[in-house]
A and B are shown apart, each in its own frame.
Chain A
């Protein structure tokens, strides 16, 4: 008969919170963890070099490495997501849906507040900080609409 410990799901909390994985011990997960450590180390080295040698070229390299690392992380995360079985995948999907909704809401709120503030001080260019938030909200909305359109073509 099943033991008492088998009645518990025992999700790997530390891995989920610190590494962003479900500790499934699969090849995809090991690849994600190892490659992300390498990419993280590269980012650290490039950012530190930019701090130690504050020249335009080191700053540009650091920026490039950071952008490439973020893109690579998203790519690896996508591959890991595809390797998950249906329950962790569903949990991950729900997490992404919440992140999207809260991100969109936060961007719209900040854009709205920033715009309201800028109406009172229209000549200070620093107060146009609401524009990036509005752009983020527009991009998020656009990506979701495009996904909805293309996904609906498949069914």
Chain B
């Protein structure tokens, strides 16, 4: 999973610690998400999206598109 968290955080002039405080997680967790070493849980992903006022899919996106899953959408 890839994400734009670092760019968004910089745009909002937030440090990792400040963002972590808003999300109620540790700074290390924010760092691990930013460096794409850890994929957050859905509730945390939605929290992040709420903090930046953006939909989840604008912040997080799959590295290989659908990951091989066949879409039902035409």
Chain A, interface residues (CB within 8 Å), range = 10 to 19
Q: A1-B10, A86-B40, A86-B41 are in contact. Are A6 and B29 (CB under 8 A)?
A: no
Interface residues of A in 1-48 (CB under 8 A from B): 1-2, 6-11, 22, 24
C-alpha spacing A90/B32, complex, angstroms: 12
Contact A2 B9 (CB under 8 A): yes
> Could you say which residues of chain B place their CB within 8 Å of the CB of A11?
28
Closest B residue to A3 by beta carbon equals: B15
A85 at the A/B interface (Cβ < 8 Å)? yes
State the main secondary structure of chain B at its contact with A: helix
Choose among B24, B26, B31, B40 the residue that contacts A6 (Cβ–Cβ < 8 A): B31
B51 at the A/B interface (Cβ < 8 Å)? no
A88 at the A/B interface (Cβ < 8 Å)? yes
Contact A85 B38 (CB under 8 A): no
A146 at the A/B interface (Cβ < 8 Å)? no
C-alpha spacing A147/B51, complex, angstroms: 37
- B residues neighboring A (CB under 8 Å): 6, 9-10, 15-16, 24-29, 31-32, 34-35, 38, 40-41, 44
- A residues neighboring B (CB under 8 Å): 1-2, 6-11, 22, 24, 85-88, 90
